[in-house]
Chains A and B, each alone.
Chain A
């Protein structure tokens, strides 16, 4: 599976096309090649076979023709009156000379003559084999002639190992008195003659079974082959009746020969057997096949090259607009929607290009909307709006709400033209907004110089409250550093809010509502009373334990019956100075005395704090309350909470 997928995974469309082309073309071309080649080879072999058959026929025909010529000559001889007279004279020497004369005049058609009487007594024999009475094959020959109506018979007989084609003619004087046997040798001259006609190699091979030896001796008597090929022939060729019907392939020195066997003399297993071997060069005949094969290969190469070019062209026509599309899509991915694809074609790629173009336009438009939205609302809210169906309604979420206000802004504005006021306000609000966003907060809304920011909605983070604390510290510090007499007062609460789109179906606003939000605004408002830069709720403090706080009070804000413990964020845990720590400890002690209604001690401690510490207003608040409580003691179940009747 992985192999297949790795095999068929392509880096480019072009290589895929090429591989598919080759996968398609090569089997088809290969199949055609195999078919054509096989058929051609078969045809060639058939051709060679027929050539060989033809060669064998020509061999026989030449033999027959020469035998006929020999017969004609010998026949004419018998009607020669001089020869008749010589025969009648009963003088073998004269007859012998007459026979030699005939052979001499025969243009090599007659190589030997033998005359016997009707009882088989040899009268003359130009081969001087020393026979008195005919024997063996010669007797067989005459018996065959005797059985023939015209006294004709023919045979192949070996004389001194050389095969002779022999024929018989009766000698009439005017009745038959003798047999004349004429013969010509199947010698080198003969095989050369056959070769000239058939363009096939011809050999005559003798197998002689010597007494005592297991295998017959094999001798190539005459042959048109070279000496070395003759011995290779003798080594490789099988001789027998079984081989007469089939062809044999002989590997010679320089080439292969297909060979056909003809029995000339003897029988299977006989003492003497003579075969003719007709051979044809395999290479010579397969030249056409080889040529055709190379032509075919050239043609295939041409087809492959043309197909490859066509595929490359096709691939280019697809891949070029595709890669242009890829480029544009990549640009789009990077946020550049200005590029468009120029594809002229009206095919699928053209359609795709059009789609990409319109997609780019759509994305550009969306981006524009997103940009604009980001300016009006926070980026995270914009994302929330863009990515979710905009519906009215919301969900309950735990969030941290930061309320920030600028103290001393009214004073700051006095005597300044409105435009400069706005510029200054924008600078301050931008600063606050940037700080909020840098701590993953979301500016929910501006209200004059006040900013409401959300942490934990719409996207929940891991340290939302801590982020809010960090933002608080940074805002406070940023405004101090502005050195414009402005300072920030911030309230932070954490709790369940309802977050969602508020408003009408035509016009809505992503925001949060709930007690937590209200409390946050109240806490911000209380900073003026306690003269602190911030107040955070107990829930917020618990959520961000890595900061240092001091408990300010327990209050019941307007409209709420539930008392909440409020804290002042002092800084990062462990970074507080010793004097602050001492003040915080003293304050805690005083607060404790206050809550346990030990008014004398509380009054004394707060008074000391008021004298020693900067925030005299804070301690004055408690001194004022103690004064009142001395006259009007709180209820017996009083826990130290202070109820604010108004906002």
Chain B
């Protein structure tokens, strides 16, 4: 007997949205590959926007009451580089308690800051020499928006998660999570343009033992107003 290994109720999905609009549509094209390995669960979440275009740089996280304490996951360390006046990568996940460093690969100075409630900090102006390595701890779960006070267009996000079960969607809009213990979870999807409170939506999901699952979600993205990159220096009149 094959049972649906994905539980989804429409009413629940609408409850996710304060505005009462069906922002989250889940394509019920889920499929289950029944595998003999009971402990090796894999889930692929495919994210598309209204137009059916793959949504990249979205973070998916599985939350569970019985999830392992983050600390048990060990100290995570991330690195957000600054290359050619851009943060690389633009989206980084960290389990709460993890840290990130902000190396400067450019030959000019940067001034990295955040006014996000999850983590407020700012570095002094610093360059690329080894003596100036800045590392920040991220203890509080949430999204930290990182900017550079010199280059207004520079923007990066650190998703500080509560569990270790996080993935970032790739260019195909797919986020893969492997080795997930079966059980009931809340699936949280965050994207910087997601048109929802805190740019995130959640829904319950049951991970059955064994096999692999694929879930396709359609996200409604808001128009993003971003600061345009200033003209490059060599196009300036004065050097």
Give the B-binding residues of A (Cβ under 8 A).
Answer: 79, 81, 84-85, 87-88, 149-151, 170, 172-176
Select the residue from B115, B145, B146, B149 with max chain A CB neighbours within 10 A. Answer: B115
29 contacts between A and B (CB under 8 A): A79-B149, A79-B152, A81-B111, A81-B113, A81-B149, A84-B113, A84-B115, A84-B149, A87-B115, A88-B115, A88-B120, A149-B225, A150-B225, A150-B228, A170-B225, A172-B147, A172-B152, A172-B227, A173-B115, A173-B145, A173-B147, A174-B113, A174-B145, A174-B148, A174-B152, A175-B145, A175-B147, A175-B192, A176-B225
Decide if A174 touches B225 in the complex (CB within 8 Å): no
**Chain B, Cβ-Cβ closest to A174:** B147
**Chain A, Cβ-Cβ closest to B145:** A175
Chain B, residues 137-173, CB within 8 Å of chain A (1/0): the string is 0000000011111001011000000000000000000
Select the residue from B147, B192, B227 with max chain A CB neighbours within 10 A. Answer: B227
**Chain A, Cβ-Cβ closest to B228:** A150
In the A-B complex, the 3 residue pairs with the smallest Cβ-Cβ separation, listed nearest first, are A174-B147, A88-B115, A173-B115
* A607 to B: closest C-beta gap in Å: 173
Which residues of the other chain, A, contact B149 by a CB distance below 8 angstroms? Answer: 79, 81, 84
Bound complex: CA of A557 vs CA of B111, how far in Å? 176
Which residues of the other chain, A, contact B154 by a CB distance below 8 angstroms? Answer: 174
Which residues of the other chain, B, contact A176 by a CB distance below 8 angstroms? Answer: 225
**Chain B, Cβ-Cβ closest to A172:** B227
Chain B, residues 220-235, CB within 8 Å of chain A (1/0): the string is 0000010110000000
Which residues of the other chain, A, contact B228 by a CB distance below 8 angstroms? Answer: 150
Bound complex: CA of A174 vs CA of B113, how far in Å? 9
Bound complex: CA of A88 vs CA of B192, how far in Å? 19
Which residues of the other chain, A, contact B120 by a CB distance below 8 angstroms? Answer: 88
Decide if B155 touches A175 in the complex (CB within 8 Å): yes
* B18 to A: closest C-beta gap in Å: 13
Bound complex: CA of A84 vs CA of B150, how far in Å? 13
Which residues of the other chain, B, contact A85 by a CB distance below 8 angstroms? Answer: 115
* B222 to A: closest C-beta gap in Å: 11
Select the residue from A81, A84, A173, A175 with max chain B CB neighbours within 10 A. Answer: A175
**Chain A, Cβ-Cβ closest to B227:** A172
**Chain B, Cβ-Cβ closest to A147:** B223
Which residues of the other chain, B, contact A88 by a CB distance below 8 angstroms? Answer: 115, 120
Bound complex: CA of A248 vs CA of B214, how far in Å? 74
**Chain B, Cβ-Cβ closest to A177:** B115
| Seed contacts A174-B148, A174-B152, A174-B154; 6 additional CB < 8 Å A-B pairs | A79-B152, A81-B113, A84-B115, A151-B225, A173-B147, A174-B146
Which residues of the other chain, A, contact B111 by a CB distance below 8 angstroms? Answer: 81
Which residues of the other chain, B, contact A172 by a CB distance below 8 angstroms? Answer: 147, 152, 227
**Chain B, Cβ-Cβ closest to A173:** B115
Which residues of the other chain, A, contact B155 by a CB distance below 8 angstroms? Answer: 174-175
**Chain B, Cβ-Cβ closest to A170:** B225
Which residues of the other chain, A, contact B192 by a CB distance below 8 angstroms? Answer: 175
**Which residues between 110 and 150 of chain B lie within 8 Å of chain A, taking CB atoms?**
111, 113, 115, 120, 122, 145-149
* A150 to B: closest C-beta gap in Å: 8
**Chain A, Cβ-Cβ closest to B122:** A81
Which residues of the other chain, A, contact B145 by a CB distance below 8 angstroms? Answer: 173-175
Bound complex: CA of A228 vs CA of B18, how far in Å? 60
**Chain A, Cβ-Cβ closest to B148:** A174
Which residues of the other chain, A, contact B146 by a CB distance below 8 angstroms? Answer: 174
Which residues of the other chain, B, contact A149 by a CB distance below 8 angstroms? Answer: 225
Which residues of the other chain, B, contact A151 by a CB distance below 8 angstroms? Answer: 225
* A556 to B: closest C-beta gap in Å: 158
* A577 to B: closest C-beta gap in Å: 155
**Chain A, Cβ-Cβ closest to B111:** A81
Select the residue from B111, B146, B155, B225 with max chain A CB neighbours within 10 A. Answer: B225
Which residues of the other chain, A, contact B227 by a CB distance below 8 angstroms? Answer: 172, 174
Which residues of the other chain, A, contact B147 by a CB distance below 8 angstroms? Answer: 172-175
**Chain A, Cβ-Cβ closest to B153:** A174
Which residues of the other chain, B, contact A81 by a CB distance below 8 angstroms? Answer: 111, 113, 122, 149
* A146 to B: closest C-beta gap in Å: 8
* B110 to A: closest C-beta gap in Å: 12
Bound complex: CA of A85 vs CA of B145, how far in Å? 14
**Which residues between 170 and 209 of chain B lie within 8 Å of chain A, taking CB atoms?**
192
* B149 to A: closest C-beta gap in Å: 5
Which residues of the other chain, B, contact A173 by a CB distance below 8 angstroms? Answer: 115, 145, 147
Bound complex: CA of A170 vs CA of B120, how far in Å? 21
**Chain B, Cβ-Cβ closest to A84:** B115
* B46 to A: closest C-beta gap in Å: 26
* A373 to B: closest C-beta gap in Å: 124
**Chain B, Cβ-Cβ closest to A151:** B225
Bound complex: CA of A85 vs CA of B113, how far in Å? 10
Bound complex: CA of A354 vs CA of B147, how far in Å? 120
* B88 to A: closest C-beta gap in Å: 16
Bound complex: CA of A459 vs CA of B120, how far in Å? 153
* A117 to B: closest C-beta gap in Å: 14
Bound complex: CA of A91 vs CA of B202, how far in Å? 32
Bound complex: CA of A149 vs CA of B155, how far in Å? 18
Bound complex: CA of A484 vs CA of B152, how far in Å? 164
Bound complex: CA of A88 vs CA of B120, how far in Å? 9
* B19 to A: closest C-beta gap in Å: 13
Bound complex: CA of A149 vs CA of B147, how far in Å? 20
Bound complex: CA of A176 vs CA of B115, how far in Å? 12
Which residues of the other chain, A, contact B152 by a CB distance below 8 angstroms? Answer: 79, 172, 174
Bound complex: CA of A151 vs CA of B148, how far in Å? 20
Which residues of the other chain, A, contact B225 by a CB distance below 8 angstroms? Answer: 149-151, 170, 176
Chain B, residues 82-125, CB within 8 Å of chain A (1/0): the string is 00000000000000000000000000000101010000101000
Bound complex: CA of A85 vs CA of B122, how far in Å? 10
**Chain B, Cβ-Cβ closest to A85:** B115
* B199 to A: closest C-beta gap in Å: 10
Bound complex: CA of A87 vs CA of B116, how far in Å? 12
* B211 to A: closest C-beta gap in Å: 39
Bound complex: CA of A174 vs CA of B115, how far in Å? 8
Select the residue from B145, B146, B192, B228 with max chain A CB neighbours within 10 A. Answer: B145
Bound complex: CA of A151 vs CA of B145, how far in Å? 20
Bound complex: CA of A88 vs CA of B154, how far in Å? 18
* A312 to B: closest C-beta gap in Å: 78
**Chain B, Cβ-Cβ closest to A89:** B115
Bound complex: CA of A149 vs CA of B154, how far in Å? 18
* A580 to B: closest C-beta gap in Å: 156
Bound complex: CA of A179 vs CA of B192, how far in Å? 19
* B112 to A: closest C-beta gap in Å: 10
Bound complex: CA of A174 vs CA of B110, how far in Å? 14
Which residues of the other chain, B, contact A84 by a CB distance below 8 angstroms? Answer: 113, 115, 149
Which residues of the other chain, B, contact A150 by a CB distance below 8 angstroms? Answer: 225, 228
**Chain A, Cβ-Cβ closest to B147:** A174
Bound complex: CA of A365 vs CA of B113, how far in Å? 139
**Chain B, Cβ-Cβ closest to A146:** B225
Bound complex: CA of A51 vs CA of B155, how far in Å? 50
* A152 to B: closest C-beta gap in Å: 11
**Chain A, Cβ-Cβ closest to B146:** A174
